[in-house]
A and B are shown apart, each in its own frame.
Chain A
Amino acid sequence: MRYLDNRNHDLFSDMFDDMFRGPITSSGQLMKTDIREKDGKYILEMEIPGVKKEDVRISLYNGNLTVSANHTSTDEEKNAAGKILRQERFSGSCSRTFYVSDVITDADIKASFKDGILTIELPTEKKKEEETKKFIDIL
């Protein structure tokens, strides 16, 4: 259990330092994220302005939590808005991945999206489900 604890602490300290960088464009970093620990939970708050909830996807695979967002606008919308005089905001798709340990399952993760902020909550500790001994019947 101690081992698991330590590992979980590494999760948001050392391990992220290298891989923990949002996509960077000429106009700065995208998907800026704050992480805090409170009441046995990690809370991630990620900035994804100007995206609809439906265009944000969260996936969990082999302990990697990936958030991808797609800033799309159809040609019609673009034409309706008129000529672009200045474009600083990002358009396109971007994604960012966090390692959250492979004991975390989909059911442990809660997410909400409001005012361009995606909030994800996950437990800091989770015991690996004890594998029950399986007995094989003798036929």
Chain B
Amino acid sequence: MRTDVQESDDTYTLKMDLPGFNRDDIQISLQNGNLSISAKREHSDEKKDDKGNVLRQERYYGTCSRTFYVGKDMEDSDIHASYNDGTLTLTVPKKTKKELKDTHYIEIG
């Protein structure tokens, strides 16, 4: 899960190498400001037979995940993801103070 992180004026862009995964097997979650990317690629026994005689295996099979802290104020809808040519690209906005959630005041009854 080699990743490049780039910063522009208003966004952070993460590009992660995830070759040969199904789109459905890549999960991105956001919890407590932690952005987690996990990906799964499995070799079931059935598939092995189907795949024929394996002569060499260098590629990784199994589950892998990686977490980045993006700040607690980030919401799911702020983050955009795309998967193309084996690269997952995530765009995370930089939040300025103005954009932060307004503090909710509770009226005194």
Contact = CB atoms under 8 A, between A and B. Distances in A.
B86 interface: yes
Nearest to B60: A32
B17 A84 contact: no
Contact of A29 (B11, B58, B85): B58
B87 to A, nearest CB: 4
Interface residues of B, number: 31
Contacts of A53: 85
7 contacts: A35-B55, A82-B6, A82-B11, A85-B6, A88-B2, A89-B15, A115-B21
Interface of A: 12-13, 16, 20, 22, 27-29, 32-39, 42-43, 45, 47-53, 80-90, 115-117
Interface string B11-37: 111010111110000000000000000
Contact of B6 (A16, A84, A90): A84
Given A83-B7, A86-B3, A86-B4, A47 B59 contact: yes
